[in-house]
Amino acid sequence: MPREPKPIRSDIAWSTTDRITIRGLDLPGEILGHLDLAEFSFLQLTGRRPTAAEGRIYTALLITLVEHGLTPSAIAARMTYAGAPEAMQAAVAAGLCGLGSVFVGTTEGSANMLAEALADDDGTADLDDVARRVVSGFKERRAIVPGVGHPLHKPIDPRTPRLFEIAEAEGVAGRYVELMKRIGVEATRTYDRELPVNATGAIGALSCEIDLPLKAVRGLGVMARAIGLVGHILEESEQPMALQLWQRIDREASAHIRTAT
């Protein structure tokens, strides 16, 4: 006999004619006016309210990821808006599609790297040895160590010490933070060039410290960057540059052909 299908189930939210419940809390009575957006999004992702320290750390992580200037994702959003100004959601989606292993996705890579490295740690592992094994493993695979190095911010990514400082003040800086720092030192030694812990490395470490689900770490970038992209689209509507960029690219990319003819 065919198996009975499993019941469809969600534990996130439900509504009746006079009630909206999210993660077990009444939206009007227990959430609105009681939780800020960061606290509420933490609840949505984890199913629990953050502690005061977790909330401050989590808020700092989100703010760090909101804005990065005219990155490819912001340019993609502006270009899409220029072609479809009636659909802001399409422009935001276009920008979010560019979040991957180069932009934002390294937060997820850093968190996974640290979680795997300390999966069996009982608090006694030599973190210098762990850092050496981690870096040598990436080198043997000819893979980039996530969370270290930055094309612009050298020798220090200014966001990193501030994030770690906040973590120290909140009593959240533990072995994941310490291991990330030592991976930065070991990577610099191994590759013989400055490879400071960057913001994504710090965010990966702090995500582990506050026990965020690893699958949610890239989602932090998606949520935060959506805010930044809306800002870029609003600016594009008032100070457009997308059409000029398109015209310049078209003109400059084909200049050699026009000159030859």
DSSP the chain: -PPPPPPP---SEEEETTEEEETTEEIIIIITTTS-HHHHHHHHHHSSPPPHHHHHHHHHHHHHHH--SS-HHHHHHHHHHHH-TT-HHHHHHHHHTT-BTTTBHHHHHHHHHHHHHTTT--S-S-HHHHHHHHHHHHHHTT-PPTTB--SSS-S--THHHHHHHHHHHTT---HHHHHHHHHHHHHHHHHTS---B-HHHHHHHHHHHTT--GGGHHHHHHHHHHHHHHHHHHHHHHS--HHHHHHHHHHHHTHHHHHH-
- CA angle 56/200/109 to nearest 5° reads 115
Q: How many domains does the chain have?
A: 1
For residue 56, being part of any structural domain is answered with yes
What are the 10-residue block averages of pLDDT along the chain, 261 residues in total? 85 95 96 96 96 96 94 95 96 92 81 96 94 96 93 86 97 97 96 93 97 93 96 97 93 78 60
Distance separating alpha carbons of residues 167 and 67, to the nearest angstrom: 21
For residue 111, being part of any structural domain is answered with yes
Could you list the residue range(s) of the whole structural domain that residue 175 is in?
50-261
pLDDT score, position 261: 60
pLDDT score, position 117: 97
pLDDT score, position 260: 65
> By C-alpha distance, which of 149, 55, 72 is closest to 110?
149
Distance separating alpha carbons of residues 40 and 30, to the nearest angstrom: 11
Distances (CA, A) of 199 to 26, 37, 97, 180, 202: 36, 22, 21, 11, 5
For residue 34, being part of any structural domain is answered with no
pLDDT score, position 258: 67
Cis check: omega of the bond before 155, within 30 degrees of 0: yes
Establish how many alpha carbons lie within 13 A of residue 29's alpha carbon, considering only the half-sphere containing its beta carbon: 7
For residue 76, being part of any structural domain is answered with yes
For residue 227, being part of any structural domain is answered with yes
For residue 213, being part of any structural domain is answered with yes
For residue 140, being part of any structural domain is answered with yes
Question: Residue 73 sits in a domain of what CATH number?
Answer: 1.10.230.10
For residue 40, being part of any structural domain is answered with no
Distance separating alpha carbons of residues 202 and 107, to the nearest angstrom: 8
Are residues 82 and 74 in contact, defined by beta-carbon separation less than 8 angstroms? Answer: no
Are residues 87 and 225 in contact, defined by beta-carbon separation less than 8 angstroms? Answer: no
